[in-house]
Amino acid sequence: MKFTFAKPFTPEKGTLVITATEGPELAASGKALDKKSGYALTKAMKAGKFKGKGGQMVSLFAPHNLGVDRLIIAGLGKADDLKERNFETLGGKLYATVANGVEPTVAVLLDPLQGCKVPVAERSARIALGAKLRSFRFDKYRTKEKKEAKPTLKSLRLLADEGTKARALFNEMDKVADGVFFTRNLVSEPANVIYPASLAKEAKGLKDLGVKVKVLGEKDMEKLGMGALLGVGQGSVRESKLVALEWNGLPKGTKQDDGPVAFVGKGVTFDSGGISIKPSAGMEDMKWDMGGSGVVIGLMKALAGRKAKAHVVGIVGLVENMPSGEAQRPGDIVTSMSGQTIEVLNTDAEGRLVLADALWYCQETYKPKIVIDLATLTGAIMVSLGTTIAGLFSNDDELADDLFASGEAVDEKVWRMPLGSDYDKMIKSDVADMKNIGGRWAGSITAAQFLKRFIQDDVKWAHLDIAGVTWSTADKPTVPKGGTGFGVRLLDRYIADHHEA
């Protein structure tokens, strides 16, 4: 879809969108159109019980004396309450409303808005971003889709002052959206298409953006002593991989002596559960158990695409967890790269084993100042927080607060969960340094406690359990159902707010 930004004018054909604040109170251009139409807009708002609240819309087809084929009045809510994400939501809802309409081009007319703290250029760009995010479709395998089921909208025109500035803002946002789309595509692909080697190949494509990419195979990882990661993948015919990505966009001459910010992702490209096999119902969903790695790769694409002035590392451990005569057994003991031993009591608690070695490799190789890992780690986090908020665990209050704020800003919300010595005792093993499960209770917390054992002293660390937010079964304003890409925008915002030169 094409986005254009131009000075405000009133189109005389096609579909036109105008806005109203709570009341309802039409913007200046809306009042002029209302008068010209013989107050048809006022009548339509009254008939549709339209109050101008956020999310409300009313449509008029072929309104008298206006020329346009369709006019949509979009509610904004109270002007002084509006934030960036309100305009993204508006863009997403507008796209959902007009995507399959008759007109291939839709214009949105934005007036100055008294009391609104969001500048008009930012409003234009955010509406475009919301529409772009909602427009995602994973349709490459639909060979017989009817023409009328496909979107007809080809162009969205944002008509407002400061169009040049809006275009510049959107260009940067668009690169982040590209990262989100990349993640959504990776997560949506079936496991016969995305497996460790093919996902590593997708990551290598980021070299074109200036990202340094290194891929380790099983022999490389054996030399490094990654027994935890390799144990997970030993039952599969697919070779396990570890991919390291590095983007350094710091301006030349910048002193960088305190290490990069690192992101580490779980990449189980299919999780059958291994010998501790999962029930068959819903097992097909386990193609997206590589969601954490998908976010890390998409984030690196976003940061490199917009030339972020930051030094960032991304590490993804890629395995396939399958049952076979070679598979890891319950009761096996493995030695991690850190030297710590792990008693594997449940082969379906595998993601933490992958992350254990990926986290240690990251710290040993890149000496990061901050490490943030992402994983579709536990069903227990969904019991706690449902499918709209991710679990956040951290050893540092400032880092936790910053991530919370970034999530609020982009509507990818996280909620901090506890850690503590009592939970740590729950993973104590009688025969090894630790066991990979802690029993029935506090499953997401004991999983985080497990990961914490692989964080070195003085390293600030956060763990995001994204099991409930990686896939959605229902449409949301800027997130169509399917792979969500949750985490890319959150972490891009975190880098932009706290780590760019």
Question: What are the distances in angstroms from CA 309 to CA 42, 250, 262?
Answer: 49, 5, 15
Distance between CA atoms of residues 69 and 50, nearest Å: 21
378 pairs with which residues across the strands?
Answer: none
Helix (H) or strand (E) holding 421: helix 421-425
352 noted as active-site residue: yes
Q: In the annotation, is 123 catalytic? A: no
34: number of CA atoms within 13 Å, CB side? 19
In sequence order, the 6+-apart residues with CB closer than 8 A to the CB of 341 are 333, 334, 335, 432, 433, 434
Q: In 225-320, which residue ranges form alpha helices assigned H by DSSP? A: 227-233, 291-305
Residue ranges in 225-323 assigned as alpha helix (H): 227-233, 291-305
User: Cis bond leading into 24, ω under 30°?
Assistant: yes
Place of tokens 């030094």: 311
Which of 241, 287, 306, 352 is an active site residue? Answer: 352
| Token pair listed for 485 | 């890409």
* Count of other CB atoms within 10 angstroms of residue 418: 11
Of the residues 165, 204, 278, 453, only one is catalytic, namely 278
Strands 471-472 and 482-483: antiparallel
Largest CA distance in the chain: 83
Question: Catalytic amino acids?
Answer: 278, 352
